Chains A and B, each alone.
Chain A
Amino acid sequence: MKQITLIVMAAFALALTPVASAANDTKSITIQVSIAAEASIVLPGTTSLTAGATAFSDFTGSTTFTYKVRTSKTGGSGAVTFQIAEFSPSGGPRIAGGPAADNLKYSSSTTGVGSAQSTAQSVNSTTTNYTVLSFAADAKSSGSGDTATVNWTLPNDPQYSTGNYSATATFTISAL
C-alpha cells in the first residue's frame, strides 16, 4: 500500500511541472521622430574692407560664414539674406542715396548646399533683403555645417573724407 501511494504522488508532481518555462515572447516598440526644417548661421563679428596697393583702388573684403540648413522634402525652400544699415559716420561711403558708381557690391560662393550669387549685385538700400544663398526643397547641409563666402567691393571715391567707417550687416537664414 505504501508503494502505491508514492507512485501516485510522483505522477502528480510531474503533472504540475510548468510547460511555459521553455517558451519565448517578442514584443516591439515604435520609435517615431519628426524631422523638421531647421537652420542656423554663424558669422564673424567684423569684416574688414581694405584698399589695394594702387591709389584709389576699390576696398574689398570677404565674410566667411558657416551654416546648417534642412528644408522640407516636399515644397520646401530657404535662403540666406542680409540687410545692411547705413555707414557711420557720414562723409564716407553710403549704402543708400549715394552715386550709383559708388554702390557697395557683393557676390557669394559656397562649398556646400545652396545656390550662390555669382554675379556682383549692387547694395543701395538699407531695407532690402539681399539674397546670398537660396535653397531648394530637400536641401541638407553636411553634419558639420557648410561654408559660404560673401565678397564685398566698395569703390574708393576720392570724395570720401578720411576716417573710419562701419556698417552692420544682419544675415538671416531661413528654412521651410
Chain B
Amino acid sequence: MKKYLLVLLAIALFTTAAFAQQKTGTTTISLTVGPEAWISVPSSTPLLNAGSDFTVDYVGTTAIAYKVRTTTSGSITFKAAEFDVTGGPKIASPVAGDELKYTSVVGGTSVGTGVTTAANVTSTSTDYPVVTFGANASSKKAGDGTTVNWTLPNDPQYKTGAYSSIVTFTISAT
C-alpha cells in the first residue's frame, strides 16, 4: 500500500464550442395615432380690379394647403380683422351691398367639403367656415388643397388708397 496517494484532479468543461449560440427576446413597438391638422397659407392675397368703370369687383384667391386626420370631425375657418385704413372697404357694418364675400373650392382629390355658395363676411369676431371634415377624414400624405375666392364690391365711395385686412385661418381636428 502506498503511503502517499497521487491525486490528479482534472476539471474539464467540454462545451460545444463549435456550435453557434443563439438567444432571442421581444419588444412590442407601439404608437398612438391621434387627430392632427396642419395648414399653410400665403402671406398675402391681393384683390385686383380688372376694370376702370366700377363694373368689376375686386377679386382674388387664397390657395391653402392642409393636412388633416380626424376621429370625429374638423374644419378650416377664418377670422378677418378690420381693414387697416378707414375710408375704404369695411369688414364690420359695411354699407349694404359692399360686403366682402367668399366661396371655397376643395381640390378634386382633397378631403373635406367647401363653401359653394357665396357668404358675406360682416364680422371681425366670427369664425367663417372654409372647409368642413367628417369623421375619419384623412388627407393625402403630400397634403390637400383648397382655394378661397374673395369678392369685394367696388364702391365709388371708397377713398383711393391701399387697404389691407389680416385674415387668420385655423384648421382643427378632433
Minimum distance in angstroms from A81 CB to a CB of chain B: 10
Q: Which residue of chain A is the closest to B37 with respect to CB atoms?
A: A55
Is residue B10 within 8 Å, beta carbon to beta carbon, of the partner chain? Answer: yes
* A48 touching B30, Cβ below 8 Å: yes
Chain B contact residues, majority secondary structure? strand
Give Cα A163–Cα B31 distance, bound, in whole angstroms: 8
Contacts A38-B21, A168-B26; A102 near B31 (Cβ below 8 A):
no
Interface size class of A (residues with CB under 8 A): 35 or more
Minimum distance in angstroms from B6 CB to a CB of chain A: 6
For A158, give its contact among B8, B21, B30, B140 (CB under 8 Å).
Answer: B140
Give Cα A120–Cα B4 distance, bound, in whole angstroms: 69
| Binding stretch for chain A, among B41-49, B67-75, B78-86 | B67-75
| Binding stretch for chain B, among A4-12, A24-32, A108-116, A136-144 | A24-32
Q: Which residue of chain A is the closest to B111 with respect to CB atoms?
A: A158
Q: Which residue of chain B is the closest to A162 with respect to CB atoms?
A: B71
Is residue B96 within 8 Å, beta carbon to beta carbon, of the partner chain? Answer: no
* B26 touching A39, Cβ below 8 Å: no
Chain A residues with a Cβ under 8 A of chain B: 25, 27, 29-51, 54-56, 59, 61, 63, 65, 72, 84, 92-93, 99, 101-102, 152, 154-176
